[in-house]
Amino acid sequence: MTLEGNHKRQETNNLIAGETHVVATMKRTAIIFALIILTVVAPNPAAAQNRYIVRTTGGLSSVLNLCNLLQCQVQGSLDGPVGQNFLVTSSNNLLRRSAAFPPVFTTLPP
């Protein structure tokens, strides 16, 4: 092989190595960019939800009124058409906060 042939082969190898480096850098940049976007766009984790069984003789409307006051959510009835036991979730401690309503509501952790 001639010196010129070796020089061209070396240039080709350098070009291929350079392209590989460029491709690797682009992939790395794309991955970092995707991670940054996912970090910014990802929703914040929800606060831990405490679950409670609320027993009342006032029916669904009384539990909905209670939840409006205590900032909780009624998930559903636990006893079907009877409408006295309800599953309620809240990020707050309802056991402490519902103590103001003892004659009407009984709150039990499930």
Comparing CA positions, the residue from 81, 75, 83 lying closest to residue 94 is 75
Q: What is the pLDDT of residue 110?
A: 55
Q: Which domain holds residue 18?
A: 1-42
Length, in residues, of the chain:
110
Residue 67 one-letter amino acid: C
Mark whether 63 and 99 lie in a shared domain: yes
Mark whether 8 and 28 lie in a shared domain: yes
Q: Average of pLDDT values for 54-75?
A: 88
Kindly state the DSSP code that residue 43 receives in the 8-state scheme. P
Mark whether 66 and 32 lie in a shared domain: no
Neighbours of 96 (CB within 10 A): 9
Q: What is the pLDDT of residue 74?
A: 92
Mark whether 31 and 59 lie in a shared domain: no
Mark whether 27 and 11 lie in a shared domain: yes
Structure confidence at residue 75 as a pLDDT band (50, 70, 90)? very high
Q: Cα–Cα distances in Å, from 84 out to 1, 30, 55, 62?
A: 94, 56, 5, 10
Q: What is the pLDDT of residues 17-63, one digit of tens each?
A: 556 767 778 888 888 888 888 777 777 666 667 888 888 888 899 88
Q: In whole angstroms, give the CA distance from residue 43 to residue 2.
A: 63
Instruction: List the structure tokens of 45.
Output: 């984790």
Q: What is the pLDDT of residue 81?
A: 84
Domain count, the chain: 2
Q: In whole angstroms, give the CA distance from residue 69 to residue 109.
A: 19
